[in-house]
């Protein structure tokens, strides 16, 4: 490695507890707010980069909480990074991975910030550091999760009218299987061929629930079932695949490349939800995608309902994947009442339009961020 002259100087973490536009009901939590975990890395050449480590429902979804991520970054990760070569995100990440266990979300935010800063330094979009884009926009699904069938149908109709979304993911699993299926079937009936309807059970079903539910959902015209049973039950996922024609997507079961390899080897999923946080960063997510593609598993660009930073970081990577048959669900910023960017991300024609500028391609509205930090910092 060459003599480093541009060194990492500081790492800051900001938690913003922002309201959602409506309650968002998952089987594991009902979200009325989303706590964004934003990370800023500054190097000695004055270049800064941003990353995000947002999760869902405190500790309800993953084993890192916003507060533990902040503590682990400020206490352990920032001191390890200080003085390292800022022009080698890979070199920095190797030092971190050699020194600590786990912490996928925290590492994702750090890696994203390092790539953002380095791409800005080079004057290229972050996607160029992953070989360049094969598309400039990404189809974006919307999650219907108000908990009320009529309200969900009205929301879907509005999204179709505005040409913002035509793929809808319904959050189920909190109620009894037949009640959930009736809710989904009513929405699919109302939308007909104008929309694709998918469901996410977030691990809530037993094997018996899933045997009943997946068959009924297929008859209702549902296209995809996401994480129907416990994430650790790879054998169960394989059994459900063998029994059903409706495709099964692995989400919580995928904590990076090793899980991807295991699930692909067991033929336990038809589709992978690729998430940069769950994969421990952009490079890990790209490996998950490569393993999926090699195993002829369809790819879907997933979200942890991040704000603009994590959303656009994911989009920079997803835009480079040769195959993305199931589109994405990069709608996180649209679920929040507050904007943190100087120019909001552009959603039109059922897709997120990728920004063209260097790095992540976004500028944070620093004044607004300071105001939000006073209102919503945590
Ligand atoms: C998940 O499990 O997929 C993604 C969209 C949404 O509404 O929740 C997330 C998490
Ligand atoms: Mg999911």
Of the bound ligands, which one is closest to the alpha carbon of residue 167?
Answer: 1
Which atom of ligand 1 lies closest to the CA of 202?
2
Range of the domain at 224: 129-353
**What confidence score (pLDDT) does residue 112 get?**
99
Question: Which residue's CA is the nearest one to ligand 1's atom 4?
Answer: 303
Nearest-angstrom CA–CA distance, 19 and 290: 36
Contacts of 375 (CB under 8 A, 6+ apart): none
Best mutation site among 60, 141, 304 for ligand 1, i.e. most ligand atoms within 8 A of its Cβ? 304
- Residues 158, 283, single domain; the answer is yes
Contact 137, 349 (CB under 8 A): yes
- Is 1's pLDDT higher than 60? no
pLDDT in tens, 57-68: 999 999 999 999
- Residues 158, 249, single domain; the answer is yes
With pLDDT > 90 as the criterion, what percentage of the chain qualifies? 97
Nearest-angstrom CA–CA distance, 357 and 311: 15
CB of 306 closer than 6 angstroms to any ligand 1 atom: no
Token pair of 342 as six digits: 């100087």
- Which of the four pLDDT bands, split at 50, 70 and 90, describes residue 378? confident
Q: Please tell me whether residue 276 adopts helix, strand or coil conformation.
A: coil
**What's the CATH number where 348 sits?**
3.20.20.120
- Which of the four pLDDT bands, split at 50, 70 and 90, describes residue 377? confident
361 occurs within a structural domain: no
**What confidence score (pLDDT) does residue 4 get?**
64
- Is 3's pLDDT higher than 60? no
- Residues 228, 334, single domain; the answer is yes
- Residues 26, 136, single domain; the answer is no
Alpha carbon of 100 to ligand 2 centroid (Å): 27
**What confidence score (pLDDT) does residue 267 get?**
98
> What is the average pLDDT score of the chain?
97
Nearest-angstrom CA–CA distance, 146 and 24: 6
- Residues 193, 231, single domain; the answer is yes
- Which of the four pLDDT bands, split at 50, 70 and 90, describes residue 2? low
Place of tokens 């480093």: 4
| Across 12-36, average pLDDT | 95
Alpha carbon of 23 to ligand 1 centroid (Å): 13
Neighbour-count burial of 316, counting CB atoms closer than 10 A to its CB (0-12 exposed, 13-18 middle, 19+ buried): buried
CB of 251 closer than 6 angstroms to any ligand 1 atom: yes
Active site residue 275: no
pLDDT in tens, 198-242: 999 999 999 999 999 999 999 999 999 999 999 999 999 999 999
- Residues 74, 144, single domain; the answer is no
- Residues 115, 245, single domain; the answer is no
| Across 243-252, average pLDDT | 97
- Residues 101, 165, single domain; the answer is no
- Residues 98, 149, single domain; the answer is no
- Residues 242, 317, single domain; the answer is yes
- Residues 137, 277, single domain; the answer is yes
- The domain tally of the chain equals 2
Best mutation site among 32, 152, 200 for ligand 1, i.e. most ligand atoms within 8 A of its Cβ? 200
The distance between the two most distant Cα atoms of the chain, rounded to a whole number of Å, is 64
Contact 241, 248 (CB under 8 A): yes
Nearest-angstrom CA–CA distance, 65 and 69: 6
- Is 162's pLDDT higher than 70? yes
359 occurs within a structural domain: no
256 occurs within a structural domain: yes
**What confidence score (pLDDT) does residue 147 get?**
84
**What's the CATH number where 80 sits?**
3.30.390.10
Question: Which residue's CA is the nearest one to ligand 1's atom 2?
Answer: 202
Catalytic, out of 40, 171, 188, 275 = 171
- Residues 108, 217, single domain; the answer is no
Q: Please tell me whether residue 35 adopts helix, strand or coil conformation.
A: strand
């Amino acid at each position: 490695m060459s003599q480093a002259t541009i060194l990492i100087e500081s790492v800051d973490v900001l938690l913003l507890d922002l309201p959602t536009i409506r309650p968002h009901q998952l089987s594991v939590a009902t979200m009325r707010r989303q706590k964004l975990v934003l990370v800023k890395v500054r190097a000695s050449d004055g270049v800064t980069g941003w990353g995000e480590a947002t999760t869902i429902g405190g500790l309800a979804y993953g084993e890192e909480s916003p507060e533990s991520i902040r503590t682990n970054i400020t206490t352990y990760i920032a001191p390890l990074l200080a003085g390292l070569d800022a022009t080698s995100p890979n070199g920095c990440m190797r030092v971190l991975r050699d020194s600590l266990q786990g912490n996928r979300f925290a590492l994702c935010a750090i890696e994203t910030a390092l790539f953002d800063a380095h791409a800005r330094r080079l004057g290229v979009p972050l996607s160029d550091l992953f070989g360049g884009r094969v598309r400039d926009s990404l189809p974006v699904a919307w999650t219907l999760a108000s908990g009320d069938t009529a309200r969900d149908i009205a929301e879907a109709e509005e999204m179709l009218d505005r040409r913002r979304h035509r793929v809808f993911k319904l959050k189920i699993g909190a109620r009894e299987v037949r009640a959930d299926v009736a809710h989904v079937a009513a929405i699919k009936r109302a939308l007909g061929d104008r929309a694709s309807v998918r469901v996410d059970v977030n691990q809530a079903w037993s094997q018996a629930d899933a045997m009943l539910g997946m068959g009924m959902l297929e008859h209702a015209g549902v296209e995809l079932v996401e994480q129907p049973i416990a994430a650790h039950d790879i054998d169960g996922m394989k059994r459900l695949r063998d029994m059903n024609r409706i495709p099964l997507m692995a989400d919580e079961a995928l904590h990076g490349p090793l899980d991807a390899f295991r699930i692909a080897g067991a033929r336990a999923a038809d589709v992978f939800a690729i998430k940069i946080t769950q994969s421990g960063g952009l490079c890990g997510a790209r490996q998950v995608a490569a393993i999926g593609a090699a195993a002829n598993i369809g790819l879907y660009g997933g979200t942890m309902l991040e704000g603009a930073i994590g959303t656009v970081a994911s989009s920079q990577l997803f835009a480079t994947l040769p195959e993305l048959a199931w589109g994405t669900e990069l709608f996180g910023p649209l679920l929040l009442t507050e904007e943190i960017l100087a120019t909001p991300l552009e959603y039109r024609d059922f897709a997120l339009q990728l920004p063209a500028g260097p790095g992540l391609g976004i500028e944070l509205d620093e004044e607004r961020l300071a105001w939000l930090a006073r209102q919503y910092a945590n």
